[in-house]
Each structure stands twice: as C-alpha cells, then as structure tokens.
Amino acid sequence: MEDVIDDRQLVERAAAILLERRLMARFFDRIEFADPAYDLLLTLYVENAHDRPMTPDRCAEAMRIPPTTARRWIDHLMLEEVIEYRGSAGPKDAPDGAPLWLTAEAEQRVRSFLTRSLRGQRGERERMVDVDRG
C-alpha cells in the first residue's frame, strides 16, 4: 500500500531542501551551488503554502541574493509562465510590493517533484519514475 503524502509533508520537504542548500553553502563556495530559479520556486512554494506574500525584495532576502539577481530570475520565470504577480497583468504593471505566486501549473509541478523527492528519501526508489521519462 502506497503511503499518502500530504501538503504539510510537501511543504516541509521544500523547506528542508532550502535549508540543506544553505547548509551546503557553509561548507563550500556558495557560487558553486547557486541556483536562483530552483531556490525561487521552492521559496515561493513554501511561503505561498503559508499564505505569506512574497515580493521580489522579500524573495531576494530569503534567497540571500542581490535584488537585481532576484528580479532577473523573476522576469525570466514570468516569461516562462512559472510565476505571476497576483492581480496584475505583468511586472511592468505590478505595483511595488505586489506579491508573487507560482502559477497553478508550476505549483503542481513542484508538488510532483517534491512527492518524488520524498519517496526517494523514504527508500521507495522502485516507485520513482525515471526522470528522463517523466
């Protein structure tokens, strides 16, 4: 019987991944492990799940990167339709401090990733789909 993975476990896994990435940066040169897009997706997933609005500046602070770097990645992920400003047509129309959210499709993709990650962490590798196939 397959373990049911709930939303709380997914949010905890995302937070744990972010914490592990910060921990790794203490032991190695941070630049080697920088992946702002990945960190942004996980940060928004965790914060959105707790209903905490994340502005571009708050994202930069949470990810410990310069605001200009965060904004470049935010712009890129918006063009890819992965994140969005709520209640706004786009970044040029968004008021300062407008909250960012994952799109519904991106949220589902992050949930799928985290589910597979949790199953792999639990030793359920035989249930994990080969990442190249889906």
pLDDT in tens, 35-44: 899 999 999 9
Q: Output the pLDDT for position 26.
A: 79
Rounded Cα–Cα distance for residues 115 and 93 (Å) = 35
Q: Which residues contact 58 (CB under 8 A, 6 or more apart)?
A: none
Amino acid at 132: D
Q: Output the pLDDT for position 134.
A: 52
- With beta carbons less than 8 A apart as the criterion, state whether 43 and 59 touch: yes
**3 state DSSP class of 83:** strand
**For 30-39, what is the mean pLDDT?**
78
pTM: 0.80
Q: Output the pLDDT for position 21.
A: 86
Provide φ and ψ at 82, rounded to 5°. -100, -35
DSSP lists the bridge partners of residue 102 as 83
Domains in the chain: ranges and CATH: 7-121 (1.10.10.10)
Q: Output the pLDDT for position 132.
A: 43
How many angstroms separate the Cα of 17 from the Cα of each of 1, 11, 21, 99? 26, 10, 6, 23
Range of 22-36, 68-82, 120-134 with top mean pLDDT: 68-82
92-134 tens-digit pLDDT? 555 567 899 999 999 999 999 999 999 887 775 544 445 445 5
